[in-house]
Amino acid sequence: EYEPGLLQDLPKALERLFPKDIEYKHHETWQDGNGHSHVRASIIGPSLAVPIKNGKLILGTWQQIVFVELDVRKRKREIIVQIVGD
């Protein structure tokens, strides 16, 4: 749900669950300071399946597709859309 209150709540909730300021084993290997980003991305997941009917996405009243950047620096990202049919 892409709603202003949720947009403020989600980053705070992720920070409480997976704080930026603790040590992650990922840091020992890569020294890039984004271990929390990888853990957060693992929980949220990298993909989404949405049914389509009559050429339209089937979403709930308050549902939208939202892309979330979790890394410590901006990166160029690719979005791949795959349609699977009968």
- pLDDT number for residue 85: 83
This prediction's pTM: 0.82
Contact predicate 57/46, CB 8 Å:
no
Strand pairing category for 56-57 and 52-53: antiparallel
What's the pLDDT score for residue 16? Answer: 98
The CATH class, in words, for 1-86 is: mainly beta
Backbone phi and psi for residue 56, each to the nearest 5 degrees, phi listed first: -125, 145
Please give the share of the chain, as a percent, with pLDDT higher than 70: 100
Write down the pLDDT at residue 64. 92
Distance CA 60, CA 1 (A): 10
Q: Where are the domains of the chain?
A: 1-86
